[in-house]
A and B are shown apart, each in its own frame.
Chain A
Amino acid sequence: MKKKQFSLYQLILIIGLGIICITCVLPFIHLLAVSFSSSAAVAAGRVGFWPVEFTAASYEYVITGGRFLRAMGISIERVTIGTLLNIVLMILTAYPLAHNDLPGRGILSGFFVLTMLIGGGMIPTYLLVSGLGLKDTIWALVLPGALPVYNMIILMNFIRGLPPALEEAAWIDGASPFQTLIYVIFPLLGPSLATVGLFSMVGHWNDWFAGMIYMSEPLNYPLQTYLQTLLVDFEKLLQSDTTGNIQDILSKMNARTGRAAQLFLGALPIMLVYPFLQRYFTTGLTLGSVKE
């Protein structure tokens, strides 16, 4: 279909859709503007999309306060361990299951798929994790979801789509299944592994609930759980804070600007990687629908 480049119709589309698309980022620009504005300007409702009475006091608070950086460190630890664990388990599970004539394959894949249909629910899982003594350890955050079944199936379907001749050649050369997986299959997983890996990373980074129920000590909260506490009682936290020269910083900020700064920093890593990795985020959507 040949579409005219310039016409009233095109102009309406560009402007109309442009407005809708802008609403997806404007709130974040507003948040950024609030975080760099003075508390007085924010309280008076004078801040739009540009800082008013520019100050970096909120960011100074984030750095001197220490809680934010500590929580971020825990999140980075979780993303690293959690994603590695997810990837290793997904590959190890997907590869054998990609072989249709593996004896017992039906029962084994049923074993995994069933967990997508039924679950014990929040309470029994919570009691189990507590019972295993995992509370207040990083393992409570990464072990319960160590094998993401849906993403494993995406990966399995991808492996099935690879030319069988590759594996056969490896066998003829005397490679064992482990060697075939490591030297032949693994290097070919590229784009699909990037996609499921990214979903794991984003999932671990964004999760706050596990941190809230499994960490009884707030100092062990990962970033999103810490940010969640700010939504509820940042005002109280600010009033009780007496470390060092914090009073000086506090005079230039308030709960709203401080919260804005920390929320913005919490969203930043994803906003930074997103434009570069967007194609992997998008291909994931179509990978899932690979059919037999």
Chain B
Amino acid sequence: MKKKKFNISSLWQYYLMLVPGVILTFIFSYIPLYGVIIAFEKYNVGMGFASPWVGLENFRYLFAQPTFTRTIWNTLYISFWKLALGIVVPVTIAVLLNEMASDKLKRFYQTLIYIPNFLSWIIMAGVLMDILSSTGAINMILMKLGFPGVDFLGNAKVFPWTMIISDVWKGFGYGTIVYLAALTGIDPSLYESAMLDGANRWEQIKNITIPLLMPTVVLMTVLALGSVLNAGFDQIYNLYSPAVWETADIIDTYVYRLGIQQAQYSVGAAVGLFKSLVSAIMVIVSYRLADKLAGYRIL
């Protein structure tokens, strides 16, 4: 809809349509922005936003806490591996699915792998707690095979990897479908001429499929960079315990415990502000990159 003429006398109707959205967005997205001033105050429920101003004191306090600085490291570590495996696994599965001759079976497999994506982390956490417990299905199998049992959720060394692998498992169906869509767009004559030149299957995958998939891979990676500080609150909050805080506590779980459970609103808001600033920069940089590298724009 490029060229539009307006009936000026009814132009107001367009603005009227926008009113409810503007009001609600203003209240629930912009007023909380004003609320971040409590990150610079010693917030007191009785005084509200007029609480005493303390400048950067809350931030100084935070960065002096070893329990906070470790959450940054934990967040980046868990996020990085989720991001990396969240690309490698779906790309591999999509390439393999694309090699399958039977379209019916291919569709059926897609249906199966996309299911966990739509279930809440509450359901998934319940399932994982059940099958990963010391008497759960996975440990039963390990013991039958003669391996020692593994404390997937209670051992601080193992816990981050339990999170990374289960997250990739829950989410890989989404990426797989995105990559498969990109693969079906590849011109079949490319493969035909490659076969005429005597290229085997692996050479075809390496020289045709992977290079043509790269723009989509770059796009998905760049878009995921924007959420690198979200290491998965829903997942970790529902599966962690004080025994694994050392390696499992991420920025969001820390804000929640401090800000809402212990009602330390100012410090909680300070962490939140720190996180949104870094995230905003990441989002802007990643959208710029997406535009440059893959020609992708959402607006």
List A residues at the B interface (Cβ < 8 Å). 1, 3-5, 9-10, 13-14, 16-18, 20-25, 27-28, 30-31, 34, 43, 45, 48, 88-89, 92-93, 95-103, 108-109, 111-113, 115-128, 131-132, 143-147, 149-150, 152-153, 159-160, 162, 164, 167-168, 171, 176-178, 181, 202, 205-209, 213, 224, 227-228, 230-231, 256, 259-260, 263, 266-267, 270-271, 274-275, 278, 281-282, 285-286, 288-289, 291-292
Contact = CB atoms under 8 A, between A and B. Distances in A.
Given A1-B191, A227-B126, A120 B25 contact: no
Nearest to A106: B299
Contacts of B284: 117
A164 B18 contact: no
B1 A160 contact: yes
Contacts of B101: 3-5, 10
Main secondary structure of the interface of B (DSSP, over half): helix
B93 A20 contact: yes
Interface residues of B, number: 97
B113 A24 contact: yes
Contacts of A5: 101-102
B114 A278 contact: yes
Nearest to A44: B135
Contacts of B256: 122
Given A100-B1, A147-B24, A160-B1, A118 B280 contact: yes
A291 to B, nearest CB: 6
A111 B29 CA distance: 10
B100 interface: yes
Given A9-B99, A17-B96, A89-B20, 7 more contacts: A27-B131, A111-B22, A117-B283, A121-B255, A123-B255, A128-B32, A266-B122
Nearest to B190: A1
Interface stretch (B77-85, B155-163, B172-180): B172-180
Given A92-B17, A123-B265, A231 B28 contact: no
